[in-house]
Amino acid sequence: MFISSAFAQTAPAAAAGGGDMQSSLMSMLPLVLMFVVLYFVMIRPQMKKQKEHKAMIDALAKGDEVATAGGLLGKVSRMGDSHLGLEVASGVEIQIQRSAVVQVLPKGSIK
């Protein structure tokens, strides 16, 4: 039993030049592959979605009908750098952050 464990310890050292380096690269290959798959499945689509949301917020104009993250529907009545005035009913205006807008609705959807 003692002899077989000693033999097992010396076996990798007997490999000819660079065998140890190649095995360490092969052991890292699954990790690299998982990161590449993660990038294409999760990170890249999320970055694309963020870019589309930023473009939508930058294109907001007075009079647009929008839906907010909290579920409020209203018409943009005032524009600021980071905030919007949102008219949710006639004569009722609230102030929200631009980033809270999740969707621009077609004209005439709010009655």
Largest CA distance in the chain: 90
pLDDT tens-place string over residues 23-79: 888 889 999 999 999 999 999 999 999 999 999 999 999 999 999 999 999 999 999
The sign of the dihedral angle between the CA atoms of 77, 83, 89, 91 is negative
Domain coordinates in residue numbering, the chain: 18-59, 61-105
| Mean pLDDT, residues 11-20 taken together | 55
- DSSP assignment string, 41-98: IIIHHHHHHHHHHHHHHHT--TT-EEEETTS-EEEEEEE-SSEEEEEEETTEEEEEEG
Read off the pLDDT of each residue in 2-23 and give the average, rounded to a whole number.
Answer: 60
Q: What's the mean pLDDT in 76-101?
A: 95
Fold of 61-105: SH3 type barrels. (2.30.30)
pLDDT > 90? residue 83: yes
